[in-house]
Structure 1
Amino acid sequence: MAETAYVALGSNLEQPDLQLQRAVDDIDSMPQITVAACSRLYRSDPVGPPGQPDYCNAVVAVNTTLAPLRLLDALQSIENAHGRVRSVRWGPRTLDLDIILFGNRCIESERLTVPHYQMRVRNFVLCPLLDVAPDLELPDGTLLQVMVDELGYQGLNVIADRYPWF
């Protein structure tokens, strides 16, 4: 049976907007994964080491029959195909794909934490998530809208309204 998962996308290297658009297409073409909805495309201030270019960010809702770690494997294979290099924590990257929610599950493993451990403090994740799931309630009962109201949209700019963005 398919479950809904939410995947955050980010890029700040090599035409980030096109990296994300290709990533959505790649996700949708994977076996056992269907993109159900895609947020607007946002530009955000970088988090991490100084001197980085701005990021492009989005969120997709996917329906999948894959187990959580299999979905993670599929997403990491897409990152690798896009030239993702993991050398500096929170450093610049061609593509970052994070599972932020998987159904109503709470997962704590060596490779995967769901809900994503940083999502509550990242408006560049929460605001695009609100685009695709405005009535979402997290597994602990917290309403997504409440978290967005608390963090706001500071440092975010919508650069495209609907997918495909260009």
Structure 2
Amino acid sequence: MNDVYLSIGTNIGERYENLQYAIRLLKDTEGVEVERISSVYETAAVGFTDQADFLNIAVHVKTIHSSSEMLKICQSIENALGRVREFRWGPRIIDLDILLYNHENIETESLIVPHPRMYERAFVLVPLIDITPTPENNQLQLVHLTMEQLNREKEGVSLWKTVDTVEEFVRSEN
């Protein structure tokens, strides 16, 4: 089984329900097991800042799928929720990014892992640290060191809702 860490964010519509729906679709995907979900964090937009705040989570999944297959799964979930790519860093109903795939460094035309900007973004790192209290691989150790070095642990990121289990998350009300 492959260890995959995802970042999921939303700032359009019923944000919490969008996250829940994305997790349900992941859980319903054959060969994908959702292991852990971070708490939900609210963050200001980055890049194009004239838009609503985001809700963000990090997710740890185990899967039999290759990295390119996982990318297709993430894109199909985005499509199922109605994602429209109007412009870079614009508002979105859902965004699923592959942050880490095992211990691998991947660079293809459609996928770069580790995610190229994750070390610059507290809205990615804070939830990721939430589900990786003890780093198991070098890439996760780098995530923890980066947060310490940047001292941006909570910059622009606030806890919105605590999550203890995957089942609690998919069943809970906002």
Q: TM-score range by the shorter chain?
A: over 0.9
Tell me what 1:105 maps to: 104
4+ residue stretches of structure 1 with deviation over 4 A? 137-142
Q: How does 1:15-26 map to 2 (within 5 A)?
A: 15-26=14-25
Q: More displaced, 143-152 or 118-127?
A: 143-152
TM value normalised by structure 1: 0.94
> How high is the sequence identity, in percent, across the aligned residues?
35
* Alpha-carbon distance in 2 for matches of 1:141, 1:120: 11
Q: How does 1:133-144 map to 2 (within 5 A)?
A: 133-136=132-135, 139=138, 142-144=141-143
Q: How does 1:109-120 map to 2 (within 5 A)?
A: 109-120=108-119
Name stretches of at least 5 consecutive residues in structure 2 with no aligned partner.
none
* Alpha-carbon distance in 2 for matches of 1:37, 1:141: 15
Name stretches of at least 5 consecutive residues in structure 1 with no aligned partner.
none
Shift of 1:144: 2.4
TM value normalised by structure 2: 0.90
* Alpha-carbon distance in 1 for matches of 2:132, 2:97: 17
What does the per-residue CA deviation read over 1:40-81, in whole Å, with 9 as the maximum and x for residues that have no partner?
000001012232000000010000000000010011000001
* Alpha-carbon distance in 2 for matches of 1:79, 1:88: 15
What does the per-residue CA deviation read over 1:72-113, in whole Å, with 9 as the maximum and x for residues that have no partner?
001100000101011210000000000000000000000000
Is 1:160 matched with 2:124? no
> 1:99 touches 1:116 (CA, 8 Å); kept in 2?
yes
Shift of 1:142: 4.3
Query: Residues 156, 67 of structure 1: CA spacing in aligned structure 2 closer, same or farther, 3 A cutoff?
Result: same
Paired amino acid for 2:105: C
Tell me what 1:29 maps to: 28
Query: Residues 161, 95 of structure 1: CA spacing in aligned structure 2 closer, same or farther, 3 A cutoff?
Result: same
Q: How does 1:14-163 map to 2 (within 5 A)?
A: 14-136=13-135, 139=138, 142-149=141-148, 150=150, 151-162=152-163, 163=168
* Alpha-carbon distance in 2 for matches of 1:65, 1:139: 22
Paired amino acid for 1:9: I
* Alpha-carbon distance in 2 for matches of 1:57, 1:109: 26
Shift of 1:140: 5.5
* Alpha-carbon distance in 1 for matches of 2:136, 2:5: 13
> 2:119 touches 2:143 (CA, 8 Å); kept in 1?
no
RMSD: 1.5
> 2:98 touches 2:113 (CA, 8 Å); kept in 1?
yes
